[in-house]
Amino acid sequence: MQPILMNASSKISRRNALARISAGTFVASLLPMQNLAAARHSKPGIRIGACDWSLGRTANPEAFDVAREIGLDGVQVSLGTAADNMRMRTTEAQRQVMERSRKTGVQVASLAIGELNVVPYKSNPATIPWVEDSIDTCKSMGANVVLLAFFSKNDLRNDPEGTNEVVKRLQAVAPKAEKHGIILGIESWLSAEQHLQIIDRVGSTAVKVYYDVCNSTDRGYDIFKEIRILGRDRIFEFHAKENGALLGKGKVDFNMVRKAMDAIGYSGWIQIEGAVPAGANLIESYKRNCDFLRKTFALT
């Protein structure tokens, strides 16, 4: 099936605009209940969540039931895919997720646009409204960060032309993100220094780094040094991951990660991604991963 692409210059119809207003009104009515539920299930400082795609439920409200079974505080929700036209932008998709969040007591932790790895933000104009609309969706759902993925076809390494275009596009959308208090988090193969160069060029407090400790370890970066270089002002959220191993059983020294986070005064979400051994049960693996992080970060 061919991706359903949007024309970046097309205007939103009056009907669609009214639908978005209705979505915002409905979601706003759920936020107090959601926040109360989150307060019961979250620990001070660090909160543990998981990416919905790694739970096998991409942009699917069932991810919240799985998260509750595992014992997580929240879920990082995908905006959608090109095939479903980024479904989480719709009134109905938001309603389903927010209702499931309220019923399970599991928070909407943040949003993510993983589809940028396939339909690259650095070159495809269809992605411009995806990122812009993700700000509205994020605000409506009570979260405050959107992960922008820069891997595969969207990789910025050794691509100055693509990087220049990303800087240009982020400069255009950043004022809206700033206005609504939403952070756009760059997750990529780049080093801390390269991330800082992009952030400085964009020149907005709304653009930060989404730091994946496993990805950066695989690239050979000193993640404990990088976390300190970027600091609390530049890192807004973390992925805790191991490719093909449980957390604590792979390459990443999470005790050292905690020390680095403590050094910069980090508090906020850590999202588990992957960390399931070959042939292992997903839910049981995630329970063990969740327990490991709670013990490592003294949340139990």
CATH of 14-296 among 3.10.310.30, 2.40.50.140, 3.40.120.10, 3.20.20.150: 3.20.20.150
What integer pLDDT is reported at residue 253 of this predicted model? 98
Euclidean distance between CA atoms 75 and 35, whole angstroms: 14
pLDDT at 60 over 70: yes
Q: What is the mean pLDDT of residues 253-281?
A: 97
pLDDT per position as a tens digit, 120-148: 999 999 999 999 999 999 999 999 999 99
Q: Using an 8 Å Cβ cutoff, are 282 and 55 in contact?
A: yes
Domain spans, the chain:
14-296
What integer pLDDT is reported at residue 45 of this predicted model? 87
pLDDT at 231 over 60: yes
pLDDT at 38 over 50: no
277: CB partners within 8 A, 6+ apart: 244, 245, 246, 249, 285
Give the pLDDT band (50/70/90) at residue 171: very high
Directed axis angle between helix 62-70 and helix 282-296, to 10°?
A: 60
What integer pLDDT is reported at residue 300 of this predicted model? 62
Q: Using an 8 Å Cβ cutoff, are 104 and 139 in contact?
A: no
